[in-house]
Amino acid sequence: MEKGNGQRIYKWAMLTLIIVILTSLITAFATYQYLNTEGKASFSKEPTTLNGLEYTLSKFRSEFEKKYIGEINDEDLINGAIKGYVAALGDPYTCYYTKDEMDEIMEETNGNYVGIGIYMTLDREKNAITIIKPMEDSPAEKAGLLPGDIITKVDGQGYSGSEMDEASNRIKGESGTKVTLEILRGTETKTFEITRKKVLISHIETKILQNNIGYIAISDFDGGCAEEFKRKYEELAKKGINKLIIDIRNNGGGIVDEAIDIADLITEKNATLLITKDKENEEEITRAKSNPIIKMPVVILTNGYSASASEILAGALKDNEKATLVGTTTYGKGVIQELRRLSDGSGLKITTNEYFTPKHSTINKTGIKPDVEIDLSDEAKAKLQLTEEEDTQLQKAIEVLKSKN
């Protein structure tokens, strides 16, 4: 979930008004030109305006009441109408959330998560749901799910990449209940039955490597990540590290401001960290607010699942010559979403900006190429956990840092 700079909540009052209008409607969004019942009855749609939409929906509702043999749940129909309205934009990152879904999102952002514990992303080329990585000590990790696994079915229901939010909602559930995932791993299909539970989310993992090299792995950029990063770095600094590796491999992003605040710890005051463009093509430049506290050589580890806020951090440090990037080209999600909670408790995540690196390099659908390109072997990629010796990208990062003063 991305949040734009400053969290400009309710920036577009008219957008909220449209949603309120839609929530007053009483049935599902019209998707075809005519409704025919056994060839005996039909009605035509009104023009595609809000008034025309309300007229058409009232006609559908009338037909449902006369002919439909099942139960009619108005709340489900209204939510379905809004979801369809938003999805018709064709942007996989712009979504409508019901109140219950929004409550879950806010809990996850604050570090409270009940489910199986996986980070997922949309593979645009395959239109597939790809696992970035399982969370540490999660049911997913213990079950054997791996980075790169593609989720094809949840409880027997098939899902494509464009249906990732629906799949995610189905994977979640009450602690102690079970969910069955069908996974495509290479050419092999596997099935996993996993019991959901509360997963404790920690953003940061640290250790000290050879030659007093500090290592910080960032799993996501959710709330509190930057503060935790600073605290963990200071603990490493007290232990005498003189060089630093920041690992954002398999980090699918999070809150933009968290990534910016971490970049601020490493770059000079007033340095450009991020350039964004809005719908009117107007640029906004985000700059470092303070002097750096991290002045030692830094290497950033990246891969094809380093996305969004991860790319903001990588781009800021690369263009300001504060870090060397080692690994493979990043994912290429160069757009920012703002998450807005509406008055009824529901929410809207909407793509509002495209972002660029400080040197104006495009990220969206392109990614950031590392300074030193090196991939893991196929054998290493198939392993859930690598030793330091097996991790060729980590070893290259250590080698790069040894060459720096």
Q: Which helix (H) or strand (E) holds 200?
A: strand 197-200
According to DSSP, residue 46 is labeled P
> What one-character-per-residue DSSP string does 47-91 give?
PSSHHHHHHHHHHHHHHHHHH--S---HHHHHHHHHHHHHHTT--
Are 2 and 338 in contact, with CB atoms under 8 Å apart? yes
Q: Helix, strand or coil for residue 178? A: strand
Q: Which listed residue (138, 219, 306, 308) is catalytic?
A: 308
Largest Cα span, the chain: 83
Told to judge if 319 belongs to the known catalytic residues of this protein, a careful annotator would answer yes
Tokens of 96: 């409508």
Q: Transcribe 294-351 into DSSP letters.
A: --S-EEEEE-TT--THHHHHHHHHHHTTS-EEEES------EEEEEEE-TTS-EEEEE
Q: Are 112 and 106 in contact (CB under 8 A)?
A: no
**Which among 319, 346, 349, 396 is annotated as catalytic?**
319
Q: Are strands 372-373 and 347-356 parallel, antiparallel or unpaired?
A: unpaired
139 and 225 Cβ atoms separated by less than 8 Å: no
Tell me if residue 306 is catalytic: no
Q: Of 333, 346, 391, 396, which one is the catalytic site residue?
A: 333
Catalytic sites, residue numbers: 308, 319, 333
